[in-house]
Structure 1
Amino acid sequence: VLAPPAEGPWRLDVTDTGGLDRLALLPSPAAARTLAPGEVRVRMAAAGLNFRDVVVSLGMVPGLEGVGVEGAGVVAETGPGVTRLAVGDRVMGLLPQAMAPVAVADARTLVRVPDGWTLRQAASVPVAFLTAELGLVEGAGLGPGDRVLVHTATGGLGLAALQLARRAGAEVFATASPGKHALLRRLGLDDDHIASSRDLGFRERFLDATGGAGLDVVMNTLSGEFTDASLDLLPRGGRFVEMGKTDIRDPGTVAADHPGVDYLYFDLLAEAPDRIRDGLDRLAAPLADGDLTPPLSSSRDIRHAPEAFATLRAATHLGKIVLTLPHTWDAERTVLVTGGTGTLGRLLARHLVTRHGVRHLLLTSRRGPEAEGAGELVDDLRGLGAHATVVGCDAADRDALAALLAGIPADRPLGAVVHTAGLLDDATVEGMTPAQVERVLRAKVRSAELLDELTEGIDLDAFVLFSSVAGVLGTAGQANYAAANAALDALAVRRRRQGRAAVSVAWGLWEQSSGMTGHLDGQDIGRLARTGTAPLASADGLALFDAALAVDEPGVVATRLDHAVLREQSPATLPAVLRTLAGTGRRRATAPVPGVESDDATLARRLADAAPAERRHTLLELVRNQTATVLRLSGAHEVEDERPFREVGFDSLTAVELRNRINAATGLRLPSTVVFRHPTPAQLADRLHTELVPEQDTDGAAATVLADIGRLRTAVAGITDEERAAVAEELSRLLTEVGGVEDLLNSAGQSDLAAATDDEMFALIDKELEME
């Protein structure tokens, strides 16, 4: 988790290029500078993450600098001459250094956020829709009847381009990784218009689908041979719109190699502010009317930026990823607390006022003002400077809840929801009745679903669900309660995938008894204690509430564990999730990276002083550790020596980062293709050995050959009968060159190598390998 500077404005950026571990929250004095004419200062709520940001962080394009170019927030100040916007406006658009709490931008590059949108949704829109509008529709002149290929169509840009291309009347063809084709089908594309972005098969597929005529326009986000294959889809000429940054071609060369093809490179950030303004203004109405909709999006707190960048780099997401800024509770808006007169609700209400500065509270319960202690609570909160209203409301009754929300005064609108309500109705699974299941699900889940539905158009500061460890660990006699809380956890995940605020906190037992736990006797408490879950003090619980908001995960567990008790239990009796925490499963820490931590010797010197076997082990561990870091694994033990990098998720970007990290650790200058030319950790370690220890010793060379023979044996097992003759012939030549073949043949009863059949030859090889 990234930590911001102790004082002053800050921004997300890179301390150096080459890897995602260079991301940091850095001082940003420019955010506080005096505004120039035409500028506005924006208090940021969220920033969109783009492929450009990953390219910058990895240093893939020289001269390309600065992460964060788009986002959404509220205008905090306007400079001289600004009439387009006013203080308090919710805005979205292009902002330099947008990944920050405060950003300064040209007012022409911003537009008001449509009513009913959250700022998280708004942050996902500007770059994607402006790029598709200005670069594809306007720049390429896309119109009715055009056939257009949209590459990587399930990303933010791709989803925007699909909408705008259809709106322009074009016939859309699309690529995406095979696991994402279901989304394209849901969006209305049939299989003839869908292909994989992971291989070159799209070229033949779309040529066949068009009877060889090909396409009129290609929106390209790929590179290398994929770009070449895309150009081949314009056999009659057409427009090729390059949106990527890593494989920019010369238009003249493209025109010579592909007659009639206009190569159009588009860079949104190179466009003049007036053109950005015009594009935003054209998009404003269809976005507000719902003719165009924000792309699918998911959000991560900016302090988790490295993980978000890694997700975008691996392309395992759908739509856009949005980075949110650490939220604050708006003192001028109302916080709704369901179950607000219960034990936890009263504790929380006081905490929201004293710790978070909340000034308007709406507390609900079934009995409302008639609940025990309700009057005293209101008086207590008034003494703390807050206005609290207690209302009787069944949150699982849609009409009642809708009326409650409609009654919140306009001058202090709803700003956050904390759902603490619930009930218990315990029984064993065999004895549990449908009525018991219904009562618990209604109180927990139905009310949460209604709160989610009825606040859909409100940009909430927080949406907090009080869940339980019962849904994580499973607790005896609480199958209905476990199911209800697991549903709350899932609801929070769904909201976050929609770009909306949510966290579900799976609480353990609190020391202070509540309406749900007051029935527990000493035996019950003892049974719970023996599971290793100890009661939480109220102060600790409230501190964990704050921590749950700070980590910005959709689901967290907040409980106190007694590790001594856990270690006394048999692993078979513990929930699986607790076994590692209990120490019954071995946790393997990531090993130090060889060559990086040493202050008194360089890696090369250490290798020179080591025995041959130790050299190879050191280099293999270096590769495995760096691979684990790039893939965000728990340690090198998760990286298999002989498993190809592609099989564990490597693509061109992860390969570049691994290359960068190994170069930094070794001082080498390996090419960007080194990972795929040496496609397993073992083979890459061999390459490092060749570079760092050029003097091959006999034992080491023999070990390398034997290792290669082992890999060869595995490969040979998979070839066809037709291929065996050619392989056998080459192997016979190799055996002759190695020498000692006659003894091997004589021991097998075959003295004439040339007369050996294919099967006999492979049998001899198998025997030799077994002897080794």
Structure 2
Amino acid sequence: MVVTHGAVTADRPAEDGVQVGDAAVWGLVRSAQSENPGRFLLLDLDGEANADTVRAAVTHAVERDEPQLALRAGRVLVPRLVRAGTGGAGLVGPVEQPAAWRLDTVGTATLDNVVPVPCPEVLEPLGTGQVRVAVRAAGINFRDVVVSLGMVPGQTGLGGEGAGVVVDIGPGVTDVAVGDRVMGVFDQSFGPLTVTDARLVAPVPDGWSFQQAAAVPVAFLTAWYGLTDLAGLRPGQSVLIHAATGGVGMAAVQIARHLGAEVYATASPGKHTVLEAMGIDQVHRASSRDLDFEYVVREATDGRGVDVVLNSLAGPFVDASLRLLADGGRLLEMGKTDIRDPERIAAEHPGVRYEAYDLISDAGPDRIGRMLDELAELFASGDLVPPPVRSWPLSRAREALRHLSQAKHTGKLVLDVPARVDPEGTVLITGGTGTLGGQVAEHLVRTWGIRHLLLVSRSGPDSPASKELALHLGELGAEVRIAAADVADATAVAELVAGIDPAHPLTGVVHAAGVLDDAVVTSQSPERLARVWGAKTTAASNLHAATAHLPLAMFVMFSSAAGVMGSPGQANYAAANAFCDALASHRQHLGLPGVSVAWGLWAEASGMTGHLAEADLARMARSGIAAMPSDQALRLLDAACWHGDPQPAAVGLDVRALSAQPADALPALLRALTADARGATARRTAATGAPAAGLVGRLAALTPDEQHRELLNLVRTQAAAVLGHTDTGAVDSYTPFKDLGFDSLTAVELRNRLAAATGLRLPATFIFRHPTSSAIADDLREQLCPVAADTSGPVFGELEKLEGAMARFVPDDQARGRLAKRLEALLWRLGDGAPETAVGRTVDDGAVEAASDDELFAFIDRELPS
């Protein structure tokens, strides 16, 4: 049987609640699959699939024993559980320091090495004029990509702008108060807290989300300063804005129009529909990827050219832009990867002024503060509007940076930073007097510092353990109120929320309530479905509706692995929990906090698991599912809340036990975990075996054909990771990299990955000199497994003498450095260019601060020719 439906996914969020309900079908069918293996196939369509595509997908599922498939834009996707923090999974901040960390680059210069790092300095006492801000959203710029890839040596720190709430002010700060919603120029904003100069922030306009506010500062300040302060753009003048679909470009188009100027714009050809939507007609737009823009603008202006160019390109594009300037024209250089001499420009282009600028160093904090005020008035009047924004959870920062590196975006990308739960606010826990609810309540008090709890259950104060629980939590320093209510009743939930003390407003919700009424699919009844559905699903919907208007920092639903993996006899329970999973995605799409934790088995028996006998637990253990001690489960709850993904699974899986099962008996959902385990075992074996110590050792034990296959697998695996694929099958051995979607920045990352994996020093042009994965594997094999050299020649003879002398020579640090430099110089004489750094030509920090996508691509393309 094939069951088709459209599930709620990150790229197709629910908008009217219908899809959230439909998602429950998935959970129900999973249980049906577990009761009747091979009888059900769940096929999730995106609305674009034709009959041939569906037929091919079903054939694929049957051949590979896949019980679930999704079709997205012609691609077949399968669900897999993966470990958090690996592959495409998210980044988890340290629970023990929920505020003093941020994302930064560590180790090899690849996007996979963007990781959480501690930053205790954000908690230090503030200096004069400083403010501490709880970041709620952080803007992403191309500077963050090139810093992540190590293209700015010595420069660290990701995130230069954002929006959030002021939590502390330093001496001398009078214009900003604790509790204010602010946006502005932040220092290293990819984390929960940042410290910045009070002059660099401004109030978030009424009605704006934090995501909209985080997308504004750098783009609009850079464009405003360039066009008004430096260019002095006036009504009736004309301006050419390069890369006009990026953040700065979109801001500059709006500002130029506000100033009364005629706007010409460039963008890559694929983004011209965006220019058209911005009101830039065909006469006023051209490509930013070739030099024809000079002729387009020249013809449109009857040969006169333009008064101002806001430049974000390089090389001959700068020369063409200079030729387009009329007498008295000004070229404002934002990126500075191709800085020209202003005096020489003045001599070669009489009457033209050239100026490269940097927002922070040139404008300064005082001017930036005044510009923020000026821009705020224009936003309030509607003369300016925020750019289009796409937001990503902070936990998916690597994915967002990769998306930006491939220039797939228009407007701005921002990261959503999880809000901190206010310890002085109130947390409402459903099922709060039960076993799990009570443990969660104690954990929130002990670990999170929560001081006000509202524990809700059907029995309320009359439940057996309620008095003892309240006394215990009170001794820990919490103020506890226990209420009796049916959370399946919308009116009751609304009254609960409305009755919370305004002095300690609701800051978080934990929906832990639920009931079981197990039966196989064929024995399900409306009554059984309604009983389970009401306690879990209807209650979740009521809580969502009653709190949607409140600034919650946490909305956690206790879901079940039954909704993810299926569970025999629990089709109703699986469906209800799948609904909660979908509701979490829906809430995040709306900009609200939401996480649905798919729990495995807790070791401590609760009202829903107390019926399990020792035989049941032993059977589950043999299948690879282990009961989690409560302290471990509570730590996973913390990690899930900070992770950012709406649907994490917290399950005690014995991966070794799973790996030992026959392949045909293993659920498809778990195959990636067992593959990782087998790979880790193989890597440990290789690392400990003397003949195979490291990659070179492993290769030495193989035939040439086997060496090629080993290295080809390495290249394809790394290339797939760079492109965001989990399956190496997406990278064909003989398909050119450019046809696979590689560009300059992705080539840099792949080169860095291969250099780290092999220990080789690979030139910046390495990827584009070897057009396919197979060609790269051949080159790596030649370097790692060279054929025995003929030492009869004079050069090789001298090398042997040098090697012998070096073996007897024990130099001091200075001599060692001189020797290394001489050897490096000799190596480069054998190469084809001047020495490079580990990641190619470097860029000074200021050169990328305001650089746009087109400008940076132009710069990198000069370094990485095809």
Per the normalisation by structure 1, the TM-score is 0.69
- Structure 1 Cα separation of the partners of residues 426 and 745 of structure 2: 45
1:337, 1:419 within 8 Å by CA — same for their partners in 2? yes
Partners of 2:690 and 2:291 in 1: CA distance: 48
Secondary structure of the residue that 1:467 maps to in structure 2?
A: strand
Between the aligned partners of 2:389 and 2:576, the Cα distance in structure 1 is: 27
The equivalences for 1:440-451 within 5 A come to 440=532, 443-449=535-541, 451=543
Show the counterpart of 1:92.
Answer: 183
TM-superposed CA distance for 1:548, in Å, is: 2.0
The structure 2 residue matched to 1:389, chosen from 481, 501, 524, is 481
What is the letter of the counterpart of residue 492 of structure 1?
Answer: A
Whether 1:106 aligns to 2:197 is yes
Q: Which amino acid aligns with 2:507?
A: G
SS at match of 1:272: helix
Residue in structure 1 matching 2:746, options 651, 654, 661: 654
Instruction: Letter of the 2:427 partner, please give it.
Output: V
The 5 Å alignment of 1:215-226 reads none
Which residue number corresponds to residue 670 of structure 2? 578
> Any conservation in 1 of the 2:264–2:285 contact (CA below 8 Å)?
no
1:298 aligns with 2:391: yes
Q: Which 10-residue stretch deviates more, 169-178 or 57-66?
A: 169-178
Alignment pair present for 1:49 and 2:140:
yes
- Supply the AA of the counterpart residue of 1:657: E
Deviations 1:600-623 (A, max 9, x none): 999999999999878867876775
- Could you tell me which residue of structure 1 aligns to residue 369 of structure 2? 277
Say if 1:67 and 1:97, in contact at 8 Å, map to a contact too: yes
Give secondary structure in 1 for the equivalent of 2:422.
coil
Deviation at 1:567, TM superposition (A): 5.6
CA distance in 2, matches of 1:439, 1:602: 58
Q: What are the within-5 Å matches in structure 2 for residues 713-724 of structure 1? A: none
Structure 1 segment 245-394 matched on structure 2, within 5 A:
246=337, 267-270=358-361, 271-284=363-376, 292-293=385-386, 296-301=389-394, 306=398, 308-315=400-407, 320-322=412-414, 328-371=420-463, 373-394=465-486
**Hey, what's the Cα distance between the residues in 2 that align with 1:434 and 1:149?**
63
Task: State the AA in 2 paired with 1:40.
Answer: V
Cα deviations by residue, 1:511-550 (Å, 9 ceiling, x for unpaired): 5555555677889778866754344443443232123234
Give the Å deviation of 1:312: 3.4
- The amino acid that maps onto 1:546 is D
- Within 5 Å, which residues of 2 pair with 1:409-448? 409-424=501-516, 428-429=520-521, 432=524, 440=532, 443-448=535-540
Where does 1:515-664 land on structure 2 (aligned, <5 Å)? 515-516=607-608, 532-562=624-654, 566=658, 571-572=663-664, 574-581=666-673, 587=679, 623-624=715-716, 627=719, 630-631=722-723, 639-660=731-752
Q: Report the CA distance between 1:385 and its aligned residue.
A: 1.8
Alpha-carbon spacing, 1:356–1:38, altered in 2? closer, same or farther (3 Å):
closer
Are the counterparts in 2 of residues 368 and 390 from structure 1 also a CA contact under 8 Å? yes
> Is this contact kept in 1: 2:309–2:332, CA < 8 A?
yes
Aligned partners of 2:562 and 2:570 also within 8 Å: yes
Seen in structure 2, the aligned counterparts of structure 1 residues 254 and 659 have a Cα distance that, compared at 3 Å, is farther
**Partner amino acid, structure 2, of 1:48:** G
Task: Note closer, same or farther for the CA distance 1:505–1:203 as it changes in structure 2 (3 Å cut).
Answer: farther
Is the deviation greater in 427-436 or in 534-543? 427-436
Bigger Cα displacement from structure 2, 161-170 vs 401-410: 161-170
* Contact 1:119-1:459 at 8 Å conserved across structures: no
Residue 461 (structure 1) aligned with residue 553 (structure 2): yes
In the alignment, the residues of structure 2 paired with residue 146 and residue 454 of structure 1 have an alpha-carbon distance, to the nearest angstrom, of 52
Q: From the superposition, tell whether residues 400 and 244 of structure 1 become closer, same or farther in structure 2 (CA, over 3 Å).
A: farther
| Greater Cα offset, 613-622 or 117-126 | 613-622
Structure 1 position 678 matched with structure 2 position 770: yes
Does residue 473 (structure 1) correspond to residue 565 (structure 2)? The answer is: yes
Secondary structure at the aligned position of 1:48 is classed as: strand
CA distance in 2, matches of 1:590, 1:191: 59
8 A Cα contact 1:166 1:172, kept in partner = no
Q: Which residue, out of 217, 228, 237, partners 1:126? A: 217
Contact 1:117 1:457 in 2 (8 A): no
The equivalent residue for 1:70 is 161
CA–CA distance in structure 2, aligned partners of residues 286 and 448 of structure 1: 41
| Cα distance in 2 for residues equivalent to 1:145 and 1:159 | 18
Deviation at 1:337, TM superposition (A): 1.7
Tell me what 1:507 maps to: 599
Residue 354 of structure 1 aligns with an amino acid whose one-letter code is: R
Residue 432 of structure 1 and its aligned partner are, at CA, apart by 4.8
Does 2:131 match 1:60? no
Residue from 485, 496, 502 that aligns with 1:404 = 496
Instruction: State the shift of 1:644 in Å.
Output: 2.0
**Aligned residue identity for 1:507:** W
Higher relative CO (Cα under 8 Å, sequence separation at least 6) belongs to 2
Once residues 396 and 238 of structure 1 are traced to their aligned partners in structure 2, the CA distance between those partners, rounded to angstroms, is 69
Amino acid in structure 2 at the alignment position of 1:67: L
The reply to whether residue 40 of structure 1 matches residue 40 of structure 2 is no
Q: Does the 8 A contact of 1:579 with 1:585 survive in 2?
A: no
Q: Match for 1:538: what amino acid? A: S
| Of 632-641 and 265-274, the range deviating more from structure 2 | 632-641
The residue type equivalent to 1:509 in the other structure is L
TM-score when scaled to structure 2? 0.63
TM superposition shift of 1:108: 0.8
Secondary structure class of the residue paired with 2:775 = helix
Query: Any idea what SS the aligned residue of 1:85 has?
Result: coil
For the 8 Å contact 2:95–2:639, the answer to whether it is kept is no
Letter in 2 for 1:298: S
1:731-770 matches, within 5 Å, as none
* 1:118/1:459 contact within 8 Å kept: no
Deviates most, 144-153 or 552-561: 144-153
Deviation at residue 55 of structure 1 after TM alignment: 1.8
**Which segment drifts farther, 203-212 or 61-70?**
203-212
Partner of 2:64: none
* Deviation of the 1:577 alpha carbon: 0.7
Letter in 1 for 2:483: V
CA 1:236–1:640 in structure 2 vs 1: closer, same or farther (change >3 Å)?
Answer: farther
The correspondence for 1:81, drawn from 158, 166, 172, is 172
Q: Write the letter of the residue equivalent to 1:130.
A: L
For 1:644, the aligned partner's letter is P
Q: Which runs of 5+ in 1 are unaligned?
A: 699-772
**Which ranges in structure 2 are unaligned for 5 or more consecutive residues?**
1-84, 86-90, 791-866
2:400 and 2:298 map into 1 onto residues whose CA distance is 38
Number of residue-to-residue matches in the alignment = 691
Counterpart residue number, 1:743: none
Q: 1:313 offset after TM fit, Å?
A: 2.5
* Residue type of the alignment partner of 2:364: A
Distance 1:370 1:38, change over 3 A: same
Q: Structure 1 CA distance, aligned partners of 2:337 and 2:775?
A: 27
Give the equivalent residue in structure 2 for 1:488. 580
The residue identity in structure 2 corresponding to 1:543 is R
Report percent identity of matched pairs: 47
Structure-2 residue corresponding to 1:722: none
- Per the alignment, in what secondary structure is the counterpart of residue 423 of structure 2? coil
Task: Verify the 8 A CA contact 2:519 2:570 in the aligned structure 1.
Answer: yes
Deviation at 1:341, TM superposition (A): 3.3
Preserved CA contact (<8 Å) 2:390 2:414: yes
CA RMSD in angstroms, aligned pairs only: 5.8
| Residue number in structure 2 paired with 1:750 | none
Q: 1:632 to 1:278 in 2, by over 3 A?
A: same
Q: CA deviation at 1:158?
A: 6.2
Distance 2:288 2:518 in 1: 51
